[in-house]
Amino acid sequence: MNDLRLRCSLLVRMGVAVGVLATLSIVVALIVGFIGGLLGFVAWEWIATGLEAVASFPGVSDVTDVSAPAAGFFAALALVVVINWWPLLTRYTPVEYLFQPTPPSVVATGAVLGCLYLVIIEGSAAVTSGVAAVLSPLERAVLGLGLSGLLVVGLFVAGARREIRNLRSELVDDSVPAAEVDPELEATVRRLAQFASVPAPEVYVTDADRPESFTLGSGASAVIVVSTGLCERLADDELEAVLAHEVSHLANFDSRIVAAAIVPVVIADDWIDPDASDPGDLLWNAVFRALKRYGQFGVAVLSQGREWHADAGAAALASPAALASALETLADARRVPETDLREWERSVVALDILPPALEEQGSGPFRTHPSTAARIRRLRRLAAS
């Protein structure tokens, strides 16, 4: 019965989270894409004007019956031959280097520069004539706007994913492999990973008094990091239960799921101007702050479900009573971090064992974790049964 309730709860949470994050992604993509499309459209107009200007330069197609696409193709082919077969050319000709004051080198340099010139001129002519023949001015404008918008959205998604990777890298900085300081810790994780049928992750220990354990990455690149404060505060069975919780995150592919879910939230945050002062910028910030909070709610609903699932997995791999005891100990020892590290995003991305310590970020509808007291009650019921 408990397992059925958990599965139903996870399905409902997944449905709510997908609905929230899908609408957020669409709205953010439309706003970012439209603004980026307008800017890109202007840039495309400049590019088109530049191509037309370049295409007006004299080329082979102007004095022969060879078409611009064919002339550009053969010029590019000649450059490829020269670049790829340069050792053969120098072996069977008196040319050794380009840009040398010898007659053979001057001829070879002129030929290479001529081919490059033709690639640029004839290529520009081919592009402008081809686009003009296929698309009307209105269609070119719509295509330019759409491609620019997609390009800008893609760049922002790539930037957000890079931010997430950097955030993960910061979490591993100053950590050392567990094999160097606590081989037993690494052995425990390997044993739990074997029980969970997942590749054994790398295990690192960070020198921090604040008790923490978190999971980064997935598959062969997975990493589990624990702090010295965590190891010092927990008994062996409690530490094993916490590590089982982190291994369960790996078995459930939670790192990939939450990393994808948080992307639109990071994009919305990037569009907030921290130095806004005039009414227009303040209104802009209000819109994107509302979108960010809306996305945080969706990610929080999803993240809480993943934590419940990881607790259930840990209870199967280790002692549920030990995990309940560990949560109780860690909740009492947890304190506000000394460094500002985007605490809410950090807790989500890292799949930390406990929610952020900051009260306004770790409570209410934006909680990344279920209530610690509720988790302890459920684990103790599992232990009793």
Please say if 307 is a catalytic residue: no
Q: What is the DSSP letter of 278?
A: S
**Pairwise CA distance, residues 232 & 229, whole Å:** 5
Residues in CB range of 89: below 8 A, 6 or more apart: 82, 95, 108
Angstrom distances, CA of residue 189 to CA of 84, 95, 178, 229: 50, 63, 10, 18
Q: Which of 163, 246, 307, 345 is catalytic?
A: 246
**In this structure, how many other beta carbons lie within 10 angstroms of the beta carbon of residue 293?**
13
Token output for 36: 């980026």
Strand order in the sheet with 175-177: 175-177, 202-206, 223-227, 213-216
Residues 240, 318: contact at Cβ < 8 Å?
A: yes
Q: Which of 48, 64, 45, 46 is nearest to 125 (CA)?
A: 48
**Pairwise CA distance, residues 28 & 38, whole Å:** 15
Angstrom distances, CA of residue 196 to CA of 108, 224, 248, 249, 315: 64, 15, 7, 10, 12
Residue 31, classified by CB atoms within 10 Å of its CB into exposed (0-12), middle (13-18) or buried (19+), is: middle
Angstrom distances, CA of residue 251 to CA of 31, 132, 141, 195, 378: 36, 54, 48, 10, 21
Residues in CB range of 21: below 8 A, 6 or more apart: 261, 264, 295, 298, 299, 302
Q: Which of 344, 314, 260 is nearest to 17 (CA)?
A: 260
The catalytic residue positions are 246
